[in-house]
Structure formats: structure tokens, C-alpha cells
């Protein structure tokens, strides 16, 4: 049997169990590797999902859930599975999760400002990282 694997050079973290959260992004029924978005807005991220934490900022504990959810949604936008018009709601969700998880409002507002200013460079389909898939063995 052949072994099939991929490089994960750009990712810093990997979830170790399933994480689910109710979101305001409704009306989609998406199932892709490691991410499920149900029509009622439930986002389910499987264990072993790789993500990069807070892009361009410190990975504070109170930002890690927000970063995970945000990264999953941005991946769905890059894959063309949800429209780019969802970005503003997704970015606000990042802020809301930071506050819910105990981040000081002034820090959450700073993170939110960065996400709003720079997120446009990371959500478009042409920014989806190319993955190299390897296959070895007989």
C-alpha cells in the first residue's frame, strides 16, 4: 500500500480533538476535509486540523479559539465555498470570540482592526496555499 502525505510547513498548530461552535454564518451545508459548516451555522472543526494561529500577531490564549474559527472560515472563502461577502461577519465573529474568551476589549479591538485591514489579502481563492501531495511505496 502506498503512503500518501503532505507538507505542513506553514502551519503552527493542529487541533487534537473536534471543536464545534455556533456561528452567524447560516444557510450553507459544507463538508470538506476537517471542516463542516451546517445550515444552522454550526461550524465543526475536526481533530488534526492545522492552522497558523493569529496571523501577524501574538498567539494569546484568549485569541486561539477565535484564530481557529477565523482560519477555518477564511479557508472556506479561499475554496470558494462561502462568498467573500461573509468576511465582515467572520471578522466580527473573531472579535466577539476574543471578548467571550476573556480578552481585554482594547486588545480585541486592536486585533479586529488588523483583521479588517489585512484579511482581504488572505481570503481570496488565489491566496489558497498550494499543497504538495507525496506518494511513496509500492
Binned at pLDDT 50, 70 and 90, residue 131 comes out as: low
Q: Judge whether residue 111 has pLDDT over 70.
A: yes
Cα→Cα distances 82→31, 41, 64, 87, 126, Å: 12, 12, 22, 9, 14
Q: Judge whether residue 1 has pLDDT over 60.
A: no
**What is the pTM assigned to this prediction?**
0.85
Contacts of 133 (CB under 8 A, 6+ apart): 4, 5, 6
* Mean pLDDT in residue range 10-19: 85
In a domain, 126, yes or no: yes
In a domain, 36, yes or no: yes
In a domain, 138, yes or no: no
In a domain, 121, yes or no: yes
Question: What is the chain's mean pLDDT, rounded?
Answer: 87
In a domain, 4, yes or no: no
Residue range(s) defining the domain that contains residue 52: 13-133
Binned at pLDDT 50, 70 and 90, residue 39 comes out as: very high
* Domain tally, the chain: 1
* Mean pLDDT in residue range 50-67: 89
Amino acid at each position: 500500500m502506498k503512503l500518501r502525505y503532505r507538507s505542513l510547513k506553514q502551519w503552527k498548530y493542529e487541533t487534537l480533538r473536534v471543536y464545534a461552535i455556533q456561528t452567524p454564518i447560516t444557510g450553507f451545508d459544507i463538508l470538506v476535509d476537517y471542516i463542516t459548516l451546517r445550515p444552522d451555522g454550526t461550524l465543526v472543526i475536526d481533530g488534526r486540523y492545522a492552522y497558523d494561529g493569529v496571523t501577524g500577531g501574538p498567539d494569546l490564549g484568549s485569541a486561539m479559539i477565535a484564530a481557529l474559527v477565523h482560519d477555518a472560515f477564511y479557508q472556506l472563502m479561499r475554496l470558494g465555498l462561502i462568498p467573500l461577502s461573509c468576511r465582515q461577519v467572520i471578522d466580527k465573529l473573531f472579535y466577539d470570540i476574543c471578548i467571550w474568551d476573556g480578552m481585554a476589549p482594547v486588545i480585541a479591538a486592536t486585533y479586529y482592526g488588523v483583521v479588517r485591514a489585512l484579511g482581504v489579502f488572505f481570503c481570496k481563492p488565489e491566496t489558497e496555499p498550494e499543497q504538495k501531495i507525496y506518494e511513496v511505496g509500492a
